[in-house]
Chain A
Amino acid sequence: ETAVFQTPNYHVTQVGNEVSFNCKQTLGHDTMYWYKQDSKKLLKIMFSYNNKQLIVNETVPRRFSPQSSDKAHLNLRIKSVEPEDSAVYLCASSWLGAYEQYFGPGTRLTVL
Chain B
Amino acid sequence: GQQVQQSPASLVLQEGENAELQCNFSTSLNSMQWFYQRPEGSLVSLFYNPSGTKQSGRLTSTTVIKERRSSLHISSSQITDSGTYLCAMVDGGSNYKLTFGKGTLLTVTP
Instruction: Give the interface of B toward A (CB within 8 A).
Output: 30-31, 33, 35, 40-43, 45, 48, 50, 84, 86, 88, 90, 94-100, 102-103
Contacts and interface: CB of A to CB of B under 8 A. Distances in A.
Nearest to A92: B98
Contact of B42 (A40, A43, A45, A105): A105
B102 A33 contact: no
A44 B99 CA distance: 7
Contacts, number: 62
Nearest to A102: B45
Interface of A: 31, 33, 35, 37, 40-45, 48, 55-56, 58, 88, 90, 92, 94, 96-97, 99-106, 108
Contacts of A105: 40-42
A48 B41 contact: no
Contact of A37 (B41, B45, B90, B97): B41
**Interface majority SS (helix, strand, loop, mixed), chain A:** strand
Contacts of A43: 86, 88, 98, 100
Given A42-B102, A90-B41, A99 B90 contact: yes
Given A99-B48, A99-B50, A48 B42 contact: no
B50 A44 contact: no
Contact of B33 (A37, A56, A90, A100): A100
A37 to B, nearest CB: 7
Given A99-B50, A99-B90, A33 B41 contact: no
A33 B100 CA distance: 14
Contact of B41 (A94, A97, A108): A108
